[in-house]
């Protein structure tokens, strides 16, 4: 053993850590797929055929890719709502609530604008309203954490339910469109404010918003003094305080940014998909976003990749139901298995013999 | 409706009835969470456990009614709910104690996994009607049907009320209670005493999840007495806040559960006397109440009185 390690080429040692950071999550995904296969087999479906269907429905054709990317864009944004505060050491899971508040703000703004502004300006105004609404919503959880010591995980989760109840109250009462009878909803946005699609596809511009947000978040966290301060405070709160970092302001700012991303996701959903606000906006993008953030280890660039993967899995939910007779909750079970496997893989860092630092002989 | 005859008295009566009905799940889940947190780990995944318990209780009650009869089938369901809870608790208890794994993150994963599993397995049980648990009619003395309806009390609720003081005694006066408190308050001291931290925490989490599973059975076999995917709506998570509010004391968990059950009943009580305007806002009352209570009782400067020392720390 000692012989082989001293004989091992130098580059292997240098690439050990990055390699470990890639191999472990990928291995976790593979293990999750295997466990999911066993689960499907127990439920009476052929696992290989299920894998095939998921691949086909997610990445098998241009049409499948479009479905996947349409779902990936809100996921990128809601994931940032967990990923950004996580760099500060906060576990925020209020993504769904911020998304709903963002969608609500966008619709209120959109309905009051109507056709009075040029479409592009109108959409930007809606986006800004959603960003501010979602941002303030999560900033509330951050402020409660900082000033009152309230556990941010629980408070942000409670805010989800409050946001959904508030939206239900508005669409049942003050904002209800009496002519739309399918389900209680607000009035429809004027067509000028609908978000268009990228040329030659069904993919709406939300994808661009998501990509830009992820790249900006990456630059902000990894390449600016603000990001450095946030990461320092996340690493060691006391040291950050002693170094004179404004921890309170950092907490509020990072929570605002995270919430604003989820709010933007809400605006995209109402402007590109729903066109009005009702209960359909609560479609688990928030909770799936938490998963994306954790799987991507709160790295905004990895978030893009994981969001596309999960978007593909979400896109395959329908086909599992149609051709394998599996309930739509199968996708949720799969998400849970992936999450658990990835968390377990965290405990393996530095414990696997291949990645251990070789002792100098 | 019968409550209309009572006029405005229908509101407090409705809230009382809702408290007696709706607090049972809170009670079981908060007692389970209290037991878990006393050992120094948080289990946020009780939301998933609650759903899984509700589904298993309903499913087993429905499937076994032919073989064991209408009376015993729901009790078998309650047992199954507890076992389902223990299964999820075992996953949490093992995974949350691995090095570098955060128990809050595991809890979130368990919410997704538990609810996914419950919806997956529970799909066939959404339509059929399962036999419900027996009910004690404490309102037989009254001729008023609304009073009678309000005083229908589930044996599970009474069981939960009985468990609270027993758990208090367990923590205070038994060897195993001391072990759990030692592991939760200062793991080093517990290790010096020769207690296996892993084993105590694992068993506490599994036992707590057993109780939470029974909380789920309260939902599907008593009130509201159906199995739907929206049956729990965050009660498992509110329990975590509720335990903080109750200062990790089982008796106070009982009072807090009654308070939360009451808050939950405000919306339906007003609806029963014909006030619909703010139904959804009243439905948010338990969440807002939880938030307000946490804002009032938490403080950034000191740890909370009664909080287990090792809670929220690595190891």
Which sequence spans correspond to the domains of chain B? 2-297
Average pLDDT over residues A281-306: 91
Does a structural domain hold residue A353?
no
Higher pLDDT, B75 or B285: B75
The verdict on a CB contact (< 8 Å) between A334 and B116 is yes
What residue numbers bound the domain in which A129 lies? 42-344
Mean pLDDT rounded to a whole number for chain A: 90
- Which of A:59-88 have CB within 8 Å of B? none
pLDDT value of position B236: 87
Minimal C-alpha gap between A333 and chain B (Å): 5
If you ran DSSP here, which 8-state letter would residue A201 be given?
S
Minimal C-alpha gap between A201 and chain B (Å): 32
Q: Residue A272: which CATH number? A: 1.10.3470
pLDDT value of position A9: 59
Is a pLDDT exceeding 70 seen at residue B282?
yes
Nearest to A34 by CA among A338, A311, A336: A338
Q: In chain A, how many domains are there?
A: 1
CA distances from A15 to A10, A44, B14 (A): 9, 43, 66
pLDDT value of position A4: 47
Is a pLDDT exceeding 90 seen at residue B4?
no
Nearest chain B alpha carbon to A330: B120
- Cβ contacts below 8 Å, chain A against chain B, sum to 146
Alpha-carbon dihedral angle through residues B94, B95, B98, B104, given to the nearest 10 degrees: -120
Does a structural domain hold residue A11?
no
- Which of A:143-172 have CB within 8 Å of B? 144, 146-151, 153-155, 157-162, 165-166, 168-169, 172
Burial of A191 (0-12, 13-18, 19+ CB in 10 A): exposed
Among residues of chain A, what percentage have pLDDT more than 70? 95
pLDDT value of position B5: 57
Residue among A154, A328, A343 minimizing CB distance to B95:
A343
If you ran DSSP here, which 8-state letter would residue B49 be given?
H
Band (pLDDT 50/70/90 cuts) for residue B315 is: low
Digit-coded pLDDT (tens) for B179-209: 999 999 999 999 999 999 999 999 999 999 9
CB B30 within 8 A of CB B258: no
pLDDT value of position A359: 56
**Preceding omega of B224 cis (within 30 degrees of 0):** yes
pLDDT value of position B314: 63
The pairing of strands B152-153 and B136-137 is antiparallel
According to CATH, what is the number of the domain B2-297? 1.10.3470
Nearest chain B alpha carbon to A168: B280
The verdict on a CB contact (< 8 Å) between A148 and B299 is yes
Residue among B108, B113, B278 minimizing CB distance to A93:
B108
Chain A CB contacts of B88 under 8 Å are none
pLDDT value of position B294: 86
Digit-coded pLDDT (tens) for B230-259: 888 788 888 888 898 888 999 999 999 999
Does a structural domain hold residue A77?
yes
Band (pLDDT 50/70/90 cuts) for residue B270 is: confident
The verdict on a CB contact (< 8 Å) between B300 and A148 is yes
Is a pLDDT exceeding 60 seen at residue B265?
yes
Residue among B99, B112, B287 minimizing CB distance to A335:
B112
Number of other residues whose CB lies within 10 A of the CB of residue B255: 14
Average pLDDT over residues A31-46: 93
Band (pLDDT 50/70/90 cuts) for residue A2 is: very low
């Amino acid at each position: 053993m000692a012989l082989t390690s001293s004989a091992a080429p130098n580059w292997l040692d240098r690439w050990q850590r990055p390699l470990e950071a890639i191999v472990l999550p990928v291995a976790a995904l593979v293990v999750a797929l295997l466990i999911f296969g066993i689960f499907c087999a127990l439920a009476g479906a052929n696992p290989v055929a299920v894998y095939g269907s998921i691949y086909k429905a997610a990445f098998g054709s241009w049409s499948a890719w479009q479905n996947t990317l349409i779902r990936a864009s809100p996921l990128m944004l809601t994931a940032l709502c967990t990923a950004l505060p996580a760099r500060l050491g906060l576990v925020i899971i209020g993504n769904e609530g911020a998304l709903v508040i963002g969608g609500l703000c966008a619709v209120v703004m959109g309905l009051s604008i109507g056709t009075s502004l040029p479409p592009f300006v109108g959409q930007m105004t809606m986006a800004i309203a959603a960003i501010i609404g979602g941002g303030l919503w999560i900033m509330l959880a951050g402020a409660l954490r900082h000033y009152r010591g309230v556990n941010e995980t629980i408070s942000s989760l409670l805010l989800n339910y409050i946001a959904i109840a508030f939206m239900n109250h508005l669409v049942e009462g003050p904002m209800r469109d009496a002519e739309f009878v399918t389900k209680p909803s607000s009035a429809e946005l004027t067509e000028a404010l609908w978000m268009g699609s990228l040329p030659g596809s069904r993919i709406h511009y939300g994808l661009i918003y998501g990509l830009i947000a992820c790249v900006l978040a990456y630059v902000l966290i990894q390449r600016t003094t603000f990001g450095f301060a946030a990461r320092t405070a996340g690493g060691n709160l006391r040291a950050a305080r002693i170094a004179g970092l404004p921890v309170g302001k950092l907490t509020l700012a990072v929570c605002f940014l995270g919430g604003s991303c989820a709010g933007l996701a809400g605006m995209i959903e109402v402007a590109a998909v729903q066109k009005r606000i009702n209960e359909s906006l609560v479609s688990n993008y928030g909770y799936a976003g938490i998963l994306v953030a954790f799987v991507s280890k709160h790295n905004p660039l990895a978030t893009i990749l994981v969001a596309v993967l999960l978007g593909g899995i979400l896109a395959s939910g329908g086909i599992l139901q149609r051709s394998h007779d599996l309930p739509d909750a199968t996708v949720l079970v799969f998400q849970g298995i992936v999450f658990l496997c990835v968390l377990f893989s965290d405990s393996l860092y530095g414990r696997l013999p291949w990645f251990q630092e070789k002792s100098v002989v | 409706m019968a409550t209309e005859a009572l006029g405005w008295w229908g509101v407090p009566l409705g809230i009382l009835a809702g408290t007696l009905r709706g607090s049972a799940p809170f009670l079981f889940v908060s007692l389970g969470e209290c037991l878990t947190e006393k050992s120094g780990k948080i289990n946020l995944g009780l939301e998933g456990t609650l759903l899984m318990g509700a589904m298993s209780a309903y499913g087993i009650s429905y499937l076994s009614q032919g073989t064991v009869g209408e009376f015993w089938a729901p009790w078998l369901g309650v047992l199954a709910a507890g076992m389902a809870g223990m299964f999820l608790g075992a996953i949490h208890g093992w995974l949350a104690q691995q090095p570098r794994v955060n128990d809050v993150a595991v809890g979130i994963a368990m919410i997704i996994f538990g609810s996914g599993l419950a919806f997956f397995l529970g799909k066939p049980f959404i339509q059929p009607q399962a036999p419900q648990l027996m009910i004690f009619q404490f309102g037989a003395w009254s001729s008023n049907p609304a009073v009678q309806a309000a005083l229908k009390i589930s044996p599970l609720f009474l069981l939960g009320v009985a468990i609270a003081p027993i758990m208090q005694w367990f923590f205070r006066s038994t060897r195993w209670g001391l072990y759990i408190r030692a592991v939760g308050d200062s793991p080093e001291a517990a290790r010096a005493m020769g207690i296996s931290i892993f084993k105590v925490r694992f068993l506490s989490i599994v036992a707590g999840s057993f109780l939470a599973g029974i909380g789920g059975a309260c939902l599907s076999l008593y009130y509201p007495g159906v199995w739907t995917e929206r049956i729990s709506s965050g009660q498992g998570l509110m329990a975590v806040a509720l335990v903080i509010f109750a200062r990790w004391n089982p008796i106070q968990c009982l009072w807090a559960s009654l308070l939360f059950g009451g808050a939950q009943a405000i919306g339906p009580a007003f609806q029963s006397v014909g006030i619909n305007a703010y139904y959804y806002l009243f439905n948010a009352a338990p969440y807002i109440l939880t938030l307000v209570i946490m804002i009032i009782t938490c403080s950034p400067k000191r740890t909370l009185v009664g909080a287990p020392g090792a809670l929220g720390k690595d190891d």
